[in-house]
Amino acid sequence: MEITWDGSTLVLHGAFDVRSTGEVRNAIYACLESGDYDVVVDMSDVTTIDATALRLLAVATRHAWLSGHHLTVRNPGPTVRRMAHLTRLAHAIEVERVAATA
C-alpha cells in the first residue's frame, strides 16, 4: 500500500488490507488532527480490500463526525463497493457523490 497526500486528500494505491490498515489509520488520523475538517480518501487505485480495512474506514468516519470533521471516500471501485455491501458496512462509510453528466 502506498499513500500519497494531496492537500486534505489521501490517495491510496494498491491492496488495502489487514497489512496496511495501521499505516492508513495513522495517515487518516494525522490528516484529521492537522485541522482539515473535510478529509477525502481517494480509492481510485485500490486493487483489493478486506473487511478489516472497511471497518477502519467506518470507525474513522464516525470518529471524524464525532469530532466535528468530515471523512468521505472518493471513487471506490466495484470491488470496494461489493465488499462494503457483503460486510454490511456500506451504510457506515460516506461515499462522495458525483454529479451526473447529461
The residue-averaged pLDDT of 74-85 equals: 93
pLDDT of residue 99: 52
User: Residue 62's pLDDT is what?
Assistant: 95
Report pLDDT digits (tens) over 15-65: 999 999 999 999 999 988 887 678 999 999 999 999 999 999 999 999 999
pTM of the model: 0.89
CA distance 36 to 8: 6
**Dihedral-angle region of residue 50 (phi above 0 means left; psi in -120 to 50 means alpha; beta otherwise):** beta
Higher pLDDT, 87 or 6: 87
- Has residue 102 got a pLDDT over 70? no
Element (H, E) at 18: none
45 φ, ψ (degrees, to nearest 5): -105, 15
Q: Is the pLDDT of residue 101 over 80?
A: no
pLDDT score of 36: 65
| Cα 92 to Cα 102: distance, rounded to the nearest angstrom | 30
Rounded Cα distance, 18 and 8, in Å: 24
d(CA 89, CA 81): 10
